[in-house]
């Protein structure tokens, strides 16, 4: 379903800290405690950020992550680096 948002724009009302919490959650492999440790906050705060975004968007956490990556507002540095490296690997020329 299209909401009329521009590609690369965040969901309305999403704070930078909420985006960081989702990105840390993804980077930690879906671990709330790992995301909290990466950000230096309590696990309950990460849970609250995820719950707020789910309530605001009407999406599950998994859908929220996919949507954020597809729309461009959720940038996960570890995934961006590996994507870039995969594209920049030169291919062997056929001889």
Please determine, for residue 84, whether its predicted confidence score (pLDDT) is greater than 70.
Answer: no
Reported as a single tens digit per residue, the pLDDT across 8-66 is 445 777 899 999 999 999 999 999 999 999 999 999 999 999 999 999 889 999 999 99
Q: Would you say 3 and 9 are in contact if contact means Cβ atoms under 8 Å apart?
A: no
What's the pLDDT score for residue 8? 43
pTM of the full predicted structure?
0.71
Domain architecture of the chain: domains with CATH: 16-75 (1.10.10)
CB 73 within 8 A of CB 10: yes
Is the Cα torsion angle 55, 32, 49, 11 positive or negative in sign?
negative
Which residue from 59, 50, 44, 43 is spatially nearest to 18, judged by alpha carbons? 50
Judge whether residue 88 has pLDDT over 70.
Answer: no
The average pLDDT across 81-90 equals 50
Between 49 and 6, the higher pLDDT residue: 49
């Amino acid at each position: 379903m299209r909401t009329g948002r521009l590609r690369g724009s965040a969901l309305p009302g999403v704070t930078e800290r909420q985006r960081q919490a989702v990105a840390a959650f993804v980077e930690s492999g879906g671990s709330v405690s790992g995301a909290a440790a990466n950000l230096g906050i309590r696990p309950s705060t990460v849970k609250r950020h995820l719950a707020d975004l789910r309530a605001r968007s009407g999406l599950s956490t998994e859908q929220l992550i996919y949507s954020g990556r597809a729309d461009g507002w959720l940038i996960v540095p570890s995934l961006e680096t590996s994507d870039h490296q995969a594209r920049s690997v030169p291919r062997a020329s056929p001889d």
